[in-house]
Amino acid sequence: MVVKAYVMDGVWDPKPGYVPNAREVREKRAVRSDMVYRNLKAGIREVPEPNPGNLDVVIKVGACGVCGSDIHTGEMASDGYTRYAGHLRLPVIMGHEFSGEVVEIGKDVTSVKVGDIVAVEQIRPCGFCDACKTGYFNSCRNIEEVGLSVDGGFSEYTLVPETFCCNINEIENLLGNRIAALEAGALAEPAGVAYNGIVVKGKGIIPGTNVAVMGTGPIGLAAVSIAKASGAAQVFAIDISEKRLEIAKLCGADIVINSAETEKKGHKISDVLLELTHGLGCRTVVETAGAPDSTYPEIVKFMSINANVVVIGRSPNVAPIDLEQFIVKGCSLSGSIGTAGNDIIPTVLRLMASGRIDMRKTITGRFSLDDTQKGINEARKGGQGKVMISQHYK
Ligand SMILES: [Zn+2]
Ligand SMILES: [Zn+2]
């Protein structure tokens, strides 16, 4: 039997001058894919159906979100190399933000059964390296990433080790609809990235304090939702896209600010936020814009005394930060990448099952599995919320 899947392929050809490290050579897994893979080609293909080992689960994929990495991997620079700079092993079935229905289990699987619906964790840490031993699973030195280095969720069926499945039956009970629950489950990954930054690596939100979220892409929107659910006094969402700011309101932002409009009028975001908070500023600031040149010079002005600045948005640029302000105001910076371990995904799923956050509000496009490429192109347009792919959509 064969199943349909969206497969990315390319040519392994390290750039002149780039020396692949030992692991890259050994496993044909690029750590810097933009230095190694060229001539990328993607499309719907027929692949062998998954065959579970003793501790594996076969799931019929319910929904899979399109992420920035899905967009950038297929984009090529003028020399034909991928624009995506992260882990990649080709060919691979892409898609890492997914959920599904359990249709078959290996003989030693005990925690899920056929018929359950599950969300799937994206990061597969090795468990042996110094990062894993420290509990920093996202920083694992031998990390495997679903949809990038092992097969992912833009597929009819896929194989997942039992340990990375998280039951979402309770979300179906709350929403009364299986497809809706599968969509919510697929959104656990971006929500987990925000949760990891704000709660696990950061210090959490102190109820009654002000929170600013800079950049309201899918992770920023999750940050807004989590801040609201955590009891923030006021949640400010800042972006340049009106469409995203409208979604931020749905997610619980009290005040949304279009920074492009503000600047056109000659005002600075820091002045606006200081005025709105009567000079106090924001106790938690989440940078999900990945625009360090413009955000951090403002953040240091409007962060409150004892504030925590959570660094999630990634950029090749170096942030111009006045660190003196961190000393004077007693503030801290918390860097955070991805989501793994630390009970993050199960916790985010409990927030969903209790109705405290509803990330389905961030969905702005739904495409069938056959139209995965169209969905990725839609997400590329910018200013979108989350674009979702599902074989259940017609
Ligand atoms: Zn993602
Ligand atoms: Zn490890």
Domain ranges of the chain: 2-186+358-390, 192-335
- As a whole number, mean pLDDT of residues 158-173 equals 95
The pLDDT of residue 339 = 87
Mean of pLDDT over the chain: 95
Vertex 312: Cα angle to 65 and 192 (nearest 5): 45
CATH superfamily of the 2-186+358-390 domain: Medium-chain alcohol dehydrogenases, catalytic domain (3.90.180.10)
**135 alpha carbon to ligand 2 midpoint, in Å?**
9
Ligand number nearest CA of 134 is 2
Beta bridge partners of 282: 303
Same fold, 2-186+358-390 and 192-335: no
- Cα angle: 295, vertex 311, 347; to 5 degrees: 135
Q: Is 72 a catalytic residue?
A: yes
Per-residue pLDDT tens for 240-257?
Answer: 999 999 999 999 999 999
Specify the pLDDT at position 203. Answer: 84
Ligand with an atom nearest the CA of residue 136: 2
Given 3-state DSSP classes, what are the helix, strand and coil percentages for the chain, each rounded to the nearest 5? Answer: 35, 30, 40
User: CB pairs under 8 A, 24+ apart, for 272-279?
Assistant: 273/212, 273/236, 273/302, 274/301, 274/302, 276/234, 276/236, 277/210, 277/234, 277/302, 277/304
d(CA 58, CA 196): 27
Distances (CA, A) of 341 to 1, 179, 187, 225, 333: 34, 26, 17, 21, 21
Across 29-54, average pLDDT: 95
pLDDT for position 150 = 95
Residues around ion ligand 1, judged by CB within 5 A, are 67
Q: Which of 33, 72, 99, 149 is catalytic?
A: 72
Task: Pick the ligand that lies closest to the CA of residue 127.
Answer: 2
Position 382 scores a pLDDT of: 80
> How far is ligand 1, taken at its centre, from the CA of residue 303, in Å?
28
First to last CA, the chain: 23
Q: Report the predicted TM-score, pTM, of the whole model to 2 decimal places.
A: 0.92
Has 69 been annotated as catalytic? yes
pLDDT score, position 77: 93
Q: Return d(Cα 44, Cα 84) in angstroms, integer.
A: 20
| Ligand closest to CA 386 | 1
Closest ligand by atom to 152 CA: 1
Residue 181 DSSP SS3: helix
Q: Report the pLDDT value the prediction gives residue 316, as an integer from 0 to 100.
A: 78
Q: How far is CA 179 from CA 58, 168, 357, 360, 388, in A?
A: 18, 12, 17, 11, 12
Burial of 133 (0-12, 13-18, 19+ CB in 10 A): exposed
At 5 the three-state DSSP class reads: strand
Residues recorded for the chain: 394
From 69, 149, 241, 259, the catalytic residue: 69
Q: How many CB atoms lie within 10 A of CB 79?
A: 7
For 89-116, the three-class secondary structure string (H helix, E strand, C coil) is: CCCEECCCEEEEEEEEECCCCCCCCCCC
Q: Is the pLDDT of residue 23 over 90?
A: no
**What distance in angstroms lies between residue 139's CA and the mean position of ligand 2's atoms?**
7
Residue 325 Cα to ligand 2 middle (Å): 35
H/E stretch holding 350 reads helix 344-353
CA 366 – ligand 2 centroid, Å:
35
The CA 326 to ligand 1 mean position distance, Å, reads: 31
| Alpha carbon distances (Å) from 271 to 55, 237, 265, 301 | 55, 15, 12, 8
What DSSP string describes 47-100? EEPP---TTEEEEEEEEEE--HHHHHHT-B-TTSBBS--S-B-SSEE---EEEE
Angle between helix 188-195 and 178-186 (nearest 10): 40
Q: What are the pLDDT digits (tens) for 335-389?
A: 998 888 889 999 999 999 999 999 999 999 999 999 999 999 999 998 889 999 9
Q: Indicate if the alpha-carbon torsion angle 368, 370, 371, 375 is positive or negative.
A: positive
Segment holding 309, helix H or strand E: strand 303-311
Q: Is the pLDDT of residue 315 over 90?
A: no
Which ligand sits nearest to residue 65's alpha carbon?
A: 1
290 Cα–ligand 1 center, Å? 15
Distance 134 CA to ligand 1 centre (A): 24
Among residues 231, 175, 177, the alpha carbon closest in space to that of 199 is found at: 231
- Tell me the CA–centroid distance for residue 284 and ligand 2, in Å: 30
CA of 322 to the centre of ligand 1 (A): 31
pLDDT (0 to 100) of residue 136: 86
Percent of the chain with pLDDT over 70: 100
How close is the Cα of 147 to the center of ligand 1, in Å?
A: 10
Residue 300: predicted pLDDT: 97
Closest C-alpha among 127, 119, 124, 132 to residue 189: 119
27: pLDDT strictly greater than 90:
no
- Domain 192-335 matching CATH 3.40.190.170: the answer reads no
Task: Using alpha carbons only, give the angle 80, 218, 63 rounded to the nearest 5 degrees.
Answer: 80
pLDDT in tens, 113-145: 999 999 999 999 999 999 999 988 888 888 899
Question: Percent of the chain having pLDDT more than 90?
Answer: 87
